[in-house]
């Protein structure tokens, strides 16, 4: 879908807010948009203090290291939108669109919406000198490393779509505050995460002033979606709705509303091959038999190196079935090469890890 012209959106930049305040604004803006003939709006979303946000359907206790968050003053809250738990520090620049689902500036198809919005932010980042691009299905990446995730939701005829751009990431805090496979790697947790995510500071060697970052993002949306922005504020109706909703989004009823009887299992496996040692750390949604996140590390040599990151991205949310995983691994080995490592080595690792689903997280080894 190409750029369209003539769309004018209200721009709201409220500055840093607490987690529950941002969540309540999300809910209020979406609710008012669904109840009125509302004009589309674009909001920057920033967090202070730092926070961990789970996806709408996630169980906080399964996803967040609550003791760590308490000790380090991180707030914990729940997004209205889908996807996984994320760490939001004060440096990140969040952006969001709230509009009618049939807004003429936006594609109706959801996959296309993810793509054009990611391309818009990537275009903005290019202006800052960062070679960012859309990575299907939901991310913005730089050289295979994720710099922004995205997510969305709808209510009636309104939608909310947002993402958060990493600006100056404290990886240690991210890894310790979230329950992610990286924590299984212990001393390698930070270094392996740094190979998988990036931020403006690392890409540019400096942090551009915040107004410059924000303007670049707006320019990206102007270029790709043809949106013009007019600075504005929350409306009286939105403020009234926010005041009504804010206490709920600060409550345990909202934050802890989803408690799964079922566990996410974190399993690891290891295999020695002629090409080196391979470690697999994978979190699994056990009842749905799906991979949540897989991390493949070790001292093997992958050509091109980013292929392994693409493979991890491809494995996300896939059914944990031999046939499906085998297909993805075969596809990976058609595009990439790891001297001394075969597709069977990878498949074997997934089979080994699978034996340990029912436990609390065990280690398998083989090879």
Partner 1 sequence: MQIAGYEFPEELYYERNHFWARVDGAEVTVGATDYVQQIAGEILFFQAPPLGKVVAQGKPFASIESGKWVGQVYAPVSGVITAVNTRLEDDPSPINADPYGEGWMVKIKFEDLKELSNLLKPGTPEFSEWFEAELARNA
Please give the residue ranges that form the binding site for partner 1 (CB under 8 A).
55-57, 80-83, 102, 108-111, 114, 137-138, 149-156, 258, 260-262, 285, 287-290, 317
Minimum CB distance to partner 1, residue 340 (Å): 35
Rounded Cα distance, 65 and 90, in Å: 19
Instruction: Kindly tell me which of 84 and 298 has the beta carbon lying closer to partner 1.
Output: 84
Instruction: Kindly tell me which of 277 and 288 has the beta carbon lying closer to partner 1.
Output: 288
Minimum CB distance to partner 1, residue 193 (Å): 20
Instruction: Kindly tell me which of 327 and 337 has the beta carbon lying closer to partner 1.
Output: 327
The four Cα atoms 137, 282, 73, 97 give a dihedral, to 10 degrees, of: 10
Element (H, E) at 85: none
Minimum CB distance to partner 1, residue 68 (Å): 25
Minimum CB distance to partner 1, residue 44 (Å): 20
* Own/partner long-range contacts of 350-353 (Cβ < 8 Å, ≥24 apart): 350/269, 350/280, 350/282, 350/320, 350/322, 350/325, 351/322, 352/269, 352/271, 352/280, 353/267, 353/268, 353/269, 353/280, 353/282
Minimum CB distance to partner 1, residue 216 (Å): 24
Rounded Cα distance, 210 and 92, in Å: 10
Instruction: Kindly tell me which of 92 and 192 has the beta carbon lying closer to partner 1.
Output: 92
Q: Find out whether 341 and 275 touch, Cβ atoms under 8 Å.
A: yes
Name residue 158's beta-bridge partners: 100, 155
**Residue 326 CB partners (closer than 8 Å, separation 6+):** 343, 347
Minimum CB distance to partner 1, residue 121 (Å): 15
Q: Find out whether 318 and 328 touch, Cβ atoms under 8 Å.
A: yes
Instruction: Kindly tell me which of 103 and 352 has the beta carbon lying closer to partner 1.
Output: 103
Instruction: Kindly tell me which of 266 and 291 has the beta carbon lying closer to partner 1.
Output: 291
């Amino acid at each position: 879908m190409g750029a369209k012209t003539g769309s004018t959106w209200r721009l709201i930049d409220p500055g840093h807010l607490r987690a529950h305040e941002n969540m309540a604004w999300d809910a209020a803006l979406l609710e008012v948009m669904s109840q009125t003939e509302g004009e589309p709006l674009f909001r920057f979303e920033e967090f202070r203090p730092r926070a961990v946000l789970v996806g709408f359907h996630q169980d906080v206790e399964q996803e967040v290291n609550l003791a760590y968050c308490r000790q380090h003053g991180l707030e914990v809250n729940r997004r209205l939108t889908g996807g996984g738990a994320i760490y939001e520090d004060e440096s990140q620049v969040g952006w969001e669109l709230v509009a009618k689902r049939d807004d003429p500036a936006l594609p109706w198809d959801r996959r296309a919406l993810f793509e054009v919005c990611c391309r818009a932010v990537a275009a903005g980042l290019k202006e800052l000198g960062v070679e960012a691009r859309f990575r299907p299905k939901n991310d913005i990446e730089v050289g295979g490393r994720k710099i922004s995730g995205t997510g969305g939701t709808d209510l009636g005829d309104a939608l909310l779509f947002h993402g958060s751009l990493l600006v100056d990431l404290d990886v240690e805090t991210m890894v310790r505050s979230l329950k992610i496979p990286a924590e299984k790697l212990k001393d390698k947790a930070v270094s392996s995460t740094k190979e998988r995510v990036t931020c403006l500071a690392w890409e540019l060697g400096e942090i551009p002033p915040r107004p410059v970052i924000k303007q670049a993002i707006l320019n990206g949306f102007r270029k790709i979606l043809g949106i013009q922005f007019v600075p504005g504020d929350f409306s009286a109706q939105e403020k009234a709705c926010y005041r009504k909703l804010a206490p709920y989004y600060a409550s345990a009823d909202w934050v802890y509303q989803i408690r799964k009887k079922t566990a996410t299992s974190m399993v690891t496996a290891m295999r020695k091959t002629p090409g080196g040692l391979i470690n697999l750390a994978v979190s699994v949604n056990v009842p749905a038999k799906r991979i949540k996140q897989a991390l493949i590390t070790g001292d093997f040599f992958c050509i091109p190196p980013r292929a392994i990151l693409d493979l991890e991205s491809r494995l996300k949310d896939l059914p944990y079935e031999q046939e499906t995983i085998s297909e993805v691994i075969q596809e990976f080995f058609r595009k990439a090469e790891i001297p001394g490592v075969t597709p069977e080595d990878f498949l074997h690792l997934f089979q080994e890890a699978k034996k340990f689903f029912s436990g609390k997280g065990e280690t398998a080894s083989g090879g």
